[in-house]
Amino acid sequence: MLQSLLRNDTTERLLQDIVDGLHELEQRSDASSWEKAARYVAGYDDLRQQPDFEGSRGQVLTRKINKRLRAVADQQGKKLPRASFLSNARTLANVWEQIFTVNRKLPYDHYMRIAICALPRDQKESLREWAEREQPTEAALRQTIRSAVDAHRGLHWPDFPLKVSNFWKFDSPHDNNNYGGIHPEVVANLLFWFTEPGDVVIDPMAGSGVLADTLTKYRFFRENYEAEGSGPRHALMSDVAPMRDDIMQADAADAPPCDKAIAKFAIVDPPYLRIADDKQYQNIGDNLDQWLNTLGKIIANTVSCLRPGGAIAVITDDLLRKNEHEPIAFHVTRLIRKAGLVPCATIYNHTPNFLFSMGPAQMKGARIARLLVNGCKIIQVARLSGSC
């Protein structure tokens, strides 16, 4: 008799603990459905071992437990999640772990369900208002939901596609004319992998200023963003013909573009030789030999601006010119070593830019000559000798 009473008391205590826990979560505006499901499942697993529920399985067991929970809550005037939630709480809790440990990319409707279940009420309302105001694309909405859910779980990632291999392809569009074909997400990834918060980054051939715009575009490079490695970097940009006020006028082929030993990282993105119109670039060379000679001076002068342990990324593009393939990246590797640098990484960035510069005649010539036209930028990263 006493043993039976003790068992019954244990059941009532477990029921009370679940009711108290769920009631507390219901009162909190920042509580998510995932938290409620986890609290329910923890108590459910304890209750199913009690004699009161022995012999019951599946939906019958769930109905019995939920009926007892509702009775305790009603007696005390406490609030529980809706009945349909309690019926599906165990499935919800299991799906949560599967979503974030097995799959990183899910169908769009899954993300909507995650937002509904994972975010507290105030964040869901803010997300809805943002979506109605901005009318984002499906991809942008998916990324925003993902970021909000991760942040609620205490996980913070860069707010740009982070690449972990040496092949970089970015799906989001950008205006090639603004930045000479270089994608801001290329710059963002270079900064992620090769700089730290507070580092000075120089761009001696700044063009339209993609470096500074990248630092402004992404929250990862701002104060108070919580992702590991995030924080401001400081851009020093120069160009022979500055296009905006924050770009200094300097010719890196003649002299260092900034003070010596000041920067941790440099991005050199020179104008490329083109095959479509045989375009010549002022101050960079009228032919391949002149172009490489000038680029060698630019690399050497830029390297003098690096601090110990500093690195440089040179962005080039192999090309087809007059029915001959020129392995520009190979020549650049020689220039890098001549400047006292040790190559650390070679990155391939898929881009259709080179194909855009070819007319039908050049395309036909490439096919006849059986020459493969390059469809990627080649980014070579090298550090000062002794710092790799």
- Identify the residue whose tokens are 């080179």: 354
Tell me the whole-structure pTM to 2 decimals: 0.64
Helices 210-217 + 184-194 axis angle, to 10? 80
| Residue 328 confidence (pLDDT) above 70 | yes
Helix (H, G, I), strand (E, B) or coil at 323: coil
pLDDT, averaged across the chain: 79
Helices 58-76 + 83-101 axis angle, to 10? 120
Q: What is the pLDDT of residue 2?
A: 36
Structural domain spans, the chain: 2-93, 103-152, 167-384
- Kindly report, residue by residue over 84-143, the tens digit of the pLDDT: 778 777 776 766 655 544 444 555 455 555 556 667 777 777 777 777 677 666 667 777
- Kindly report, residue by residue over 366-387, the tens digit of the pLDDT: 778 777 777 788 999 999 976 5
Strands 324-326 and 319-321: antiparallel
Contacts of 206 (CB under 8 A, 6+ apart): 237, 238, 239, 242, 243, 247
> Are the beta carbons of 285 and 271 closer than 8 angstroms?
no
- Identify the residue whose tokens are 């105001």: 133
Cα–Cα distance measured from residue 183 to residue 201, given in angstroms and rounded to the nearest whole number = 17
CATH number of 167-384: 3.40.50.150
